Structures are given as C-alpha cells and as structure tokens.
Chain A
Amino acid sequence: MARKLPKVDVVIVGVGWGGGIIASELTKQGLTVVGLERGKERKTEDYFMVHDELRYALRYEMMQDLSKETITFRSNTNVRALPMRSYGSFLMGTGLGGAGVHWNGHTFRFLPYDFEIRSKTIERYGEKKIPEGMTLQDWGITYDELEPYFDKFEQMAGISGAENPLGGKRSKPYPTPPMKMTPSMKLFEEAAKKLNLHPYPLPSANLSEAYTNPDGISRAACQYCGFCERFGCEYGAKADPVVTVIPVAKKTGKFEIRTHSHVRRILHTGNKATGVLYTDVTTGEEIEQPADIVVLTSYVFNNARLLLLSKLGRPYDPNTGKGVIGKNYCYQVMRGGATGFFEDREFNNYAGAGALGMVLDDYNGDNFDHSNLNFLHGANISVSQYGQRPIANNTVPEGTPSWGKEFKAASLKYANRTINVGAQGASLPFRHHFLDLDPTYKDVFGDPLMRITFDFEEQDRQLAAFMSEKCGEIAREMGASKVEVRGKLGPYDITPYQSTHNTGGVIMGASPETSAVNNYLQMWDVENVFVVGASAFAHNSGYNPTGTMGALSYRAAEGILKYHKSGGILV
C-alpha cells in the first residue's frame, strides 16, 4: 500500500518550463502546489565544468537515462517497433528545469496562420489542397487571443530581439535589444535583402544585456561562450526555469519541489482525478499525493504516456481516426539547407550563443503562395552562430574521404570557413502518425514504453527540396566560394540528431471530438486535469516550439486559477 500524504491544491508532474510557469503563477495567487520531478535538483553552480563537449554534447549529461526508460519507434504499423537504445534523433531532458535547461533559447511566436491552419488553408486554396490522410486542425484559439501570453513569456524570460516583419502583431516590443551581430549574420542579412527577403535577428533567450524581469528576477548578459545547447548556462544568462520562474514560486513559501519523484499514475474516480501515485526512486517507496487539480507538465511523450497508463481520456485509434490521446504526433523537417565554404575567409566560429543568428520567414507558414506547390506550410530559414565545437565540427566538402590524411587536412582547413544556412521545416499531422503504448518493451518499473509511429511523407520531401534550393540561393548570395545544397529527405531515421521538437499527442482544439484539451489545456473528459506542453500542438510549425509552449503555459495557468475558483469546463 502506498503511503498517503495530505491533500494539496495542485500537484504538478514534471518541473520544467511548463511546471515552473504554472507553479509561479499559482503560488503567487496563494495556491499550495507540489511539484514532482523525477530527475535531480539543478542549479547554476552545477555548470562550473560545463565547457566539456564530450560530457555534455556527446555523452548526454543532461539527458534522461535511457537504461531506465526510452521510447520505441517504427515507421508504420506493418513494422515491429524497436527501442531507441541510444540517443540520436532527439534528446529528452531530465532534472529540475527539464529540457528548458539544455535548450538553445530560440524563442519564436507561431504565426497567426498556424492557429487557424485548416480554415485559412481552405479559405485560400480550397479543401482539396489538404492531402488525403493529413489531419490538419485549427487549434481552438487564435493568435490574437494568445498574444498577451506570448508577451508574458517574453517579458519573464527577457527575450532579446527585434520585430519580425512578417510575424503576427505585437502589443509590446521585445524586453531587451537583439544580440550582437557577427560577420556571418551580416552576410546573411545583406544577401537576404538583396534577394528582397525580410531578415530579422533571431529572438533569443540568451539575454543581450543584464535584465530584471517583472517578477524581480535579475540575470546577467550572455558571454557568447559557445556552449549552450545540451549544456546548462554557467552564468544564468540563458533563460531557464531554474533561474526564472522556479525561484519566484519558491519565494512564496507555497511551492514544494520533490525531486527523484517519478509519477507513475494519475489516480481518478468517476471522471475526476484525485491525485497521483509516484515512486521515490531513492528508496523505492510508493507514495500517493492527493490534490484537487492535477497538472501534467512533463515532456510530450510522458504527458501522453501517463494518460494512457492511467486510462484517462480516449486513446487514439488510427484505423477509425477516433479517440484523441496519442493523436497528431508531429516533429520537424530539418533536412532543408545548404553549406557555404569560404576559401578566402575565416570566421570566429568557435564563439557563439545558442540563440544567435539572423532568420527570415518569407518561406514560412503561408507567407508565400502555395498554389503551385505540392506542400503546405514552410520553414524558418536562418544562419546561426552557436559556437562550433571541435568533436562535432568536421564539415568537409563532398567527396572528401571521412578519414586519413585528406580528411585531416580538409577538416582543419574548413573548421572556421563554413557557414550553414538552415531551414527548420513545419511538420504536419497525418492520420497514421501517432503515439501509443508499446506491447513488448517496458521501463524500469515494468510499465510499457511509449511507441512512436512516424515517417516523413511526400509533403515533407517537397518542403525539404524547396527549402534547400532557397537556402542555396542565399548561401551563394553570401559569397561562398562553394555551396553544397543538401540532398533529398529520406525516410525518418531515428539515429542522426535532428531536433528535440517532438509535438502533439494531447492536442488542443475547439471540440472534444477531435481534441484532448480545450484552449486552457484542460482535459475535455476530466475537468480537473490540465495537460501543459508542446503535447498540445495540433501540428508543429516551422519554428522552435518553446515560445508558443510558454505562452500556452501562461494561458493554462490562468485557466487553472479560474477552475480553482469556479470549477467546470472553462470553454
């Protein structure tokens, strides 16, 4: 029998961006909140030795221990799903702050088009434009409705940027000015302007100058040290939950964080949750935490998995298209791009920041005419200067052997002579892309792993090919001596790293028939459960997800406060 603890107002499962935002907003209003985090405590002092490419980038110091839990993957239902035994395609975070600690800090707002994608696509091109099997849906909220929450996230995190000329309307400018301009960013800006495109500085959570946010939290400016994505920030400059929202929640005295606490089930009777059951992984003890409201704020996979394991909500069935938990799993199309080799110029590529770059949205969303194209949506195109680290940075021209004297010479020569123009493509939902429980493989507790059924489609191949050409044009205009445009998009392969932008599975929408949560991220079927995260995305845009995920978290916090007061379904 599990040990039962006294009831609290709210229990949060996972303390990353979602959990931290919910905790800070709720405790400020006097609610008592317990945050259960299965990983360990994290703090800025942990990163004294962080400039260690091997430990953090290659050995995944910040990531979930796959020996305890992973996911399984298959390209379609005719293939046996097999476990992702080691990391590749995406990296699942763990510990206090979650993936919000090891992120790069790219903080975009999805486009107005995204939130009404089905309606707007039909309006402009007719319903036939949506290919067979594509389960494109509106999100049940508009950009204008979400705008105040975007602003709230940006003010809290101190986002550094300048207005996107092709983005949605803003109520306020970014709270801090753009990051510094590097020579490669200038080249990109000039080239894009010559091509009549609309470049703007990548909105960055790295912080261009010292900043005090509306909660009174002060952070120092980015030092461009070049160790950002996959690393924690030794300066607390990069906005992460541990240096922003969590201390605000803690200061109220109303927030209790329990690390090493692995939530295994949401407990429920009738159509209401009563709390959660978790295991203290340091002792193995099972503990029940009753609560009036349960908020799932873990990563995409675990949000969906906990609902399925707890038998909450209606599981998605790809054969009938009915059910919602596990539906519309999407990813990101990263294959579009081009590499420019500069024979006569060296760049300080070793320096950089996670979110330092120039971007443009001329080929993103529906900012360009798709009438004669065989794909929908698009990609954000960018040049970023992350800081090239030497183990990973071995770009050599095509045809160079991958080892030996020639490889050595080329990898040394081009270490600081290449610039990558990349496209981050949207990933749209299909009826046969989904999440469910694996019938064979189990985690360390004996619970089924999450199973991903996903592949790239013609939509994605067309998108990648189109974007590669556009990236190539820009790279040539930038004056590269040689430009290599990336090849065709093959099948989805779980082994090379692509992006940790997994989305969907517990999607939001206007109707319980087609979505799991409403636009406060409240479950249609279980009114006192809120599911917060990119799991709510009905598709993934041509952007990094955190800005939109953060906005939705603030929206959900408002919903939870409303629900705490008056109960009932909020929409």
Chain B
Amino acid sequence: MAESNNKYEQPVSRRHFLKNTGLVLGGLVVGGVAGSLLRRPEAPQQPGAAPAPAADYNQALMYFSPEQFKVVEAACERIFPEDELGPGAKALGAAYFIDHQLAGDWGFNAREYMQGPFYPGEATQGYQGRLKRREIFDIGIQELNNYSQSTYGKRFYEITPEQQDAVLKAFETDEVKLTAVSASAFFKMLRASTIEGIYADPLYGGNKNMDGWRLKNFPGNQMTYTQVIEQDKFVKMEPLSLRDHQH
C-alpha cells in the first residue's frame, strides 16, 4: 500500500486544501464538517514498522451458511471474473458484501412497502412479491445447486467455469422455472449486488483494499477536484476510502 502510494501524486492535504479554497471566508472557517476537518496532520508511518499480516477478524459470515457462501462466491466470480485486467469478484470480497447486506435492513426489505394485499402486477408496476431479498437468495442459491446437480451431477461450485456460465445463463433467460420468484429476477439481483460488492466503499466488506476502484481508476472519497475538473488530461490518483476520511 505505502509503496503504491508513491506512484501517484499525494492527494491535497485537508489543511492545505481548506486554506486554499473558498471554505475559509474572511478568515473564519465555515462551520460543520469542514471546520471539524481542521485537525493536526497525522504523523507519518515509520518505514519498516508494518506488522506481519494477521487474520482478518472483521471478516466472517453473518447470514449465509458456508454452503450458500460457496455457491454465491462462485457465481459472483463468473459475473466478474479475475483476468489479466485484475482481480475478480471473489478476490474483491463481493460474496462477503452480499452476505452482510442480506443480514441487515436490505435483506429484510425494511424500508420498503411489504404490506398486502399481494397481486401479480404488470411489469411496469415493479416487484409485487411477498418474499424478502434474503428469502429470494435462499431459493435462488438452492436452485443453482439443484440445477447443477440435475444437469452435471455436481453442486454449482464443483462444476467447471464454463458449466457455471451455462447454469447462470439458464437463470438469466428464465430457462429455469422457479416458483414464487423468477430465475431471471434472482439473477438480476445477484448481478446487481455483485457490482455493488465490487465498487461500494470497503467498509461494507467488498472492494477489498479499494482494488475494485483501482480497476476503474475511480479515486473513491476525495475532498475536492477543483484542481482536476478543468484538465484535458486524465488524472489518475490513488483512491481514498471513508476510513481515510475518519482518521
């Protein structure tokens, strides 16, 4: 990390940036967030002081069973595979992201209207089912395994990548028939949450080490682009996360 930092221009320090922008009005710092950012800069890290990498105790399953996790992780990796361009969904932790999301509000559809009566609607009226996202994932994962078993005699994460693609395609096109939810609706949710797991701030458990952002040259959480916004040349910078913002 520290090494790769040197390849890029250091981002503008907050203190320097606040002094040189409109944020300081007539000698007074504007209140709120900006004001609270005027803190002493952190001491630079001592070279060679980094400890050996330890186990990541922040990473464990909140919702999936280990079996479910293996299926989801394998499926995510086919949606966004590792290749010569860089890491895929597995290395980026997208399956952990999905697990954590399903454990919370999103998995329970907590901020969505889930009262009856339930009627099948027109496509233009949106989702009208009574299943919550975590239930849709439970069904979808089970059926990925069932379909793999009946077609290839093995579970989803045991078949070849090409076979996995064929299974996912069968879900995407509704060749697989499920009850209560369509295979394509499950696939769409799986795809969308995989993308989220690749690119959401690392605080959610995916986008490991901000490597998802690096794939796209997305700089993450920067305070200002006033120096960049008018430039004709593409400006590549080392990303910052929300964690960087807090410390």
Binding site for B on A (CB under 8 A): 43-45, 47-49, 51-54, 58-60, 65-67, 70, 73-75, 79-80, 82-86, 88, 180-183, 209-210, 218-221, 223-226, 234-237, 346-348, 350-352, 356, 385, 387, 389-391, 393-394, 402-405, 407-409, 411-412, 415-416, 440-442, 491-495
Contacts and interface: CB of A to CB of B under 8 A. Distances in A.
A234 B123 CA distance: 38
B229 A224 contact: yes
Interface string B51-75: 0000000000000000000000000
B200 interface: yes
Nearest to A347: B234
Contact of A391 (B199, B222, B225): B199
A54 B195 CA distance: 11
B206 to A, nearest CB: 9
Nearest to B18: A220
A404 B81 contact: yes
A210 B124 contact: no
16 contacts: A51-B201, A51-B220, A52-B221, A54-B200, A67-B110, A84-B125, A86-B112, A181-B230, A218-B25, A350-B217, A390-B198, A390-B218, A403-B168, A405-B83, A407-B80, A408-B83
A84 B201 contact: no
B106 interface: yes
B126 A86 contact: yes
B201 A52 contact: yes
B85 A44 contact: no
A495 B124 contact: yes
B212 to A, nearest CB: 7
B104 to A, nearest CB: 10
A88 B127 CA distance: 11
Contacts of A82: 119, 121, 125-126, 128
Interface of A is mostly: loop
A403 B106 contact: no
Given A44-B32, A45-B36, A404-B81, 9 more contacts: A48-B246, A67-B109, A67-B110, A75-B122, A82-B125, A210-B25, A224-B225, A404-B79, A409-B83
B235 interface: yes
Given A60-B111, A67-B113, A73 B125 contact: yes
B115 interface: yes
A88 B216 contact: no
B34 interface: yes
Contact of A85 (B83, B114, B168, B212): B114
Nearest to A58: B196
B179 interface: no
Nearest to B195: A391
Instruction: For the complex of A and B, list the 9 residue pairs with the smallest distance between their C-beta atoms, beginning with the closest.
Output: A221-B22, A44-B32, A351-B225, A390-B199, A210-B22, A346-B234, A51-B221, A54-B200, A223-B224
Contacts of B80: 403, 407-408
A1 B44 CA distance: 64
B161 to A, nearest CB: 10
A64 to B, nearest CB: 9
A12 B220 CA distance: 40
A326 B198 CA distance: 44
Contacts of B111: 60, 65-67
A220 B234 contact: no
A243 B196 CA distance: 32
Contacts of B201: 51-54
Most chain A C-beta atoms within 10 Å of own C-beta, residue among B114, B168, B194: B114
A41 to B, nearest CB: 14
Contacts of A404: 78-79, 81, 165
B217 A416 contact: yes
A51 B245 contact: yes
Contacts of B242: 49, 51-52
A403 B110 contact: no
Contacts of A209: 22
B187 to A, nearest CB: 9
Given A48-B245, A51-B221, A86-B127, A59 B106 contact: yes
A192 B78 CA distance: 43
A235 B23 contact: yes
B232 interface: yes
Most chain A C-beta atoms within 10 Å of own C-beta, residue among B117, B122, B215, B225: B225
Interface in B28-60: 30-34, 36
A85 B30 contact: no
Nearest to A49: B242
B228 interface: yes
A220 B124 contact: no
Nearest to A346: B234
A402 B191 contact: yes
Nearest to A47: B33
Contacts of A403: 78-80, 168, 172, 191, 194
A223 B228 CA distance: 10
A408 B23 CA distance: 39
A416 B234 contact: yes
A562 B190 CA distance: 58
